[in-house]
Amino acid sequence: MESAAVLKNFNVGSVESAEPVMKTGLINLLDAEPGVTYTIEEINTDDEDMNAFLFRLGCYTGEPITLISKKKKSCIVVIKDGRYNLDNLLAEAIMVR
Exposed e or buried b per residue across 43-65, where buried means at least 16 C-beta atoms within 10 angstroms of its C-beta? bebeeeeebeebeebebeeeeeb
Asked if 54 and 43 touch (Cβ cutoff 8 Å), the reply is: yes
**3-class DSSP string for 39-87:** EEEEECCCCHHHHHHHHHHCCCCCCEEEEEEECCCEEEEEECCEEEEEE
C-beta of residue 35 within 8 angstroms of C-beta of residue 67: yes
pTM of the model: 0.74
For each of the domains in the chain, give its residue range(s) and CATH number, in order of start: 25-96 (2.30.30.90)
What is the residue-level pLDDT of the chain in tens, covering all 97 positions? Answer: 444 444 344 344 444 444 444 457 899 999 999 999 999 999 999 999 999 999 999 999 999 999 999 999 999 999 999 999 999 999 999 999 9
